[in-house]
Structure 1
Amino acid sequence: MIDMATLTTVLAVPLALAFLLAGWRMVSGPSFADRFVALDMLTAIAVGFAALTTLATGRGAFLDIALGISLINFVATAAFAVFLERKRRRQ
């Protein structure tokens, strides 16, 4: 059976790659919507890293951090959707 340190390392590698790719899209995105979707993805990856940290350390406090990041992300996404809708109505 695989030990916990190896498992977290194996799971952290694709998360780190996804983090780099989403960060690149956020920097080079052609529109605000692309950049915001990349920011959404970055926060989802941060939740994944918090879950992996919980798995590695055994401390449940990191799940609270993941929940906080998720809630902030949800509110920010809703606010950005309202912003885009108002911008479209003005045109």
Structure 2
Amino acid sequence: MEYKLFVFAIIFLSITVILCMIRAVKGPTPADRLISINVIGTKTIVIISIVSFILRETYFIDVVLVYALISFIASIAISNIIERSGGKSH
């Protein structure tokens, strides 16, 4: 019974990731794109964590930690690029 709730959560999060991808493509500003990419990364981390719990595999948690670190570093790099360009889209 509880796994049905987790599967529903994964499906719901996947749908919201698609909506965030639409926002990342449309923009209109680079800051909007950066925020939507960060939200996609966070939702992906949650989805992987739920899958880890369902499958009872702990190595997925290592994947989540590495993914979170890479996402954080990428966010900082992209923020610096946006700051240097003055927040204007190219």
TM-score bin, normalised by smaller chain? 0.7 to 0.9
Matched-pair contact (CA < 8 Å) for 2:41–2:71: yes
Q: Note if 1:15 corresponds to 2:44.
A: no
Give the Å deviation of 1:75: 0.5
TM-score (norm 1): 0.82
Could you list the structure 1 runs, at least 4 aligned residues long, displaced by more than 4 angstroms after superposition.
none
Q: Mark the runs of 5 or more structure 2 residues left unpaired by the alignment.
A: none
- State the distance in 1 between where 2:49 and 2:14 align: 14
Q: Which has the larger radius of gyration?
A: 1
TM-score (norm 2): 0.83
Q: Which has the higher contact order (CA 8 A, sep 6+)?
A: 2
What is the count of residue pairs matched by the alignment? 86
Matched-pair contact (CA < 8 Å) for 2:49–2:61: yes
- The residue that corresponds to 2:41 in the other structure is 43
